[in-house]
Amino acid sequence: MTKLKVLHVDIGGCEGCAVTFLRAIPLIESIACAKTRYIGNDFKIEDCDIAFVTGSICINDVHALELLKNIRSKAKVVVALGSCAALGGITRFCRGGQEPKPDHRVFQPLSSVIDVDFAIPGCPPPPQVVNALLIAYVKNVEFQLRLFKAVAKVKRLSGFDLLDDVVLPGLCVGCGACVLSCPTGALRLIDRRPELIVEKCIRCGTCYVRCPRASQILVRRFT
């Protein structure tokens, strides 16, 4: 079997997801040949099967926009890795006005600028998810890819959406998956119902995707 040609590019994130990709390399090496700026001497955007892109896109940065469009033209499949790339995450709060580039004001998920095939939220996602996505892709297991596909079509997910779509309509089963997945500890269970500490929510969307009910809502709506 020929190995997948996989590329990782960061377009201005915190590098936490880039480290996730680096940690995933030993896991995926049997099915993929991975290239990243973290290993090797020469790195350029080249034709590949799958490009993992980390970091949200600053729509005021021409250099980053060109880079992202170049990635889309060279990659057969683009995966937004991490909450910033998938949903905007913490960078949704950015308002610009800061030296030395005060014009860098608006940060968006990648899907606002290019077509994204799959998105993996998480701040940062664990390396095992990268492996799971690649295995499902190679084996073409449609039902395992559906959720990643659905997230790629959403531009906004957070603890607030979880409350609105699952908890308040009474769909929550009190499993606690959202509490365990939250990277900031913004959720806690009170009487088997999640309670959101609003000032801790960084809008990464991990809870929404991990929730067994909310994830099904996503899949039904977007695939």
Closest CB to another protein among residues 120, 150: 120
Instruction: Out of 69, 139, 192, 200, name the contact with another protein by CB under 8 A.
Output: 200
Distances (CA, A) of 87 to 50, 112, 123, 157, 222: 19, 9, 11, 7, 15
Torsion of CA 131, 137, 138, 142, to 10 degrees: 130
- Nearest approach in angstroms of CB 34 to another protein is 12
104 is a site residue for another protein (CB under 8 A): yes
10 is a site residue for another protein (CB under 8 A): yes
- Residue type, position 139, single letter: K
Stated as kind and residue range, the H or E segment containing 196 is: strand 193-196
Sign for the CA dihedral angle at 155, 127, 38, 2 comes to negative
113 is a site residue for another protein (CB under 8 A): no
Residues in the interface with another protein (CB under 8 A) total: 51
Instruction: Out of 184, 195, 219, 223, name the contact with another protein by CB under 8 A.
Output: 184
Instruction: Out of 140, 143, 185, 190, name the contact with another protein by CB under 8 A.
Output: 185
Asked if 25 and 58 count as a contact pair (C-beta separation under 8 A), the reply is: no
- Nearest approach in angstroms of CB 219 to another protein is 27
Asked if 44 and 79 count as a contact pair (C-beta separation under 8 A), the reply is: no
160 is a site residue for another protein (CB under 8 A): no
Distances (CA, A) of 3 to 6, 29, 31, 33, 76: 9, 9, 5, 6, 14
Closest CB to another protein among residues 61, 161: 61
Name which of residues 19 to 78 contact another protein (CB under 8 A): 19-20, 22-23, 25-26, 37-43, 58, 60-61, 63-64
Tell me how far apart the terminal alpha carbons of the chain are, to the nearest angstrom.
29
Asked if 181 and 136 count as a contact pair (C-beta separation under 8 A), the reply is: no
128 is a site residue for another protein (CB under 8 A): no
- Nearest approach in angstroms of CB 75 to another protein is 18
Binding span for another protein by CB under 8 A among 90-98, 132-140, 142-150, 156-164: 90-98
What's the gap between Cα 8 and its chain centre?
13
183 is a site residue for another protein (CB under 8 A): yes
Asked if 124 and 17 count as a contact pair (C-beta separation under 8 A), the reply is: yes
DSSP summary character for residue 2 = P
Q: Which residues bind another protein (CB under 8 A)?
A: 10-20, 22-23, 25-26, 37-43, 58, 60-61, 63-64, 89-91, 93-101, 104, 107, 123-124, 126, 183-185, 197, 199-200, 202
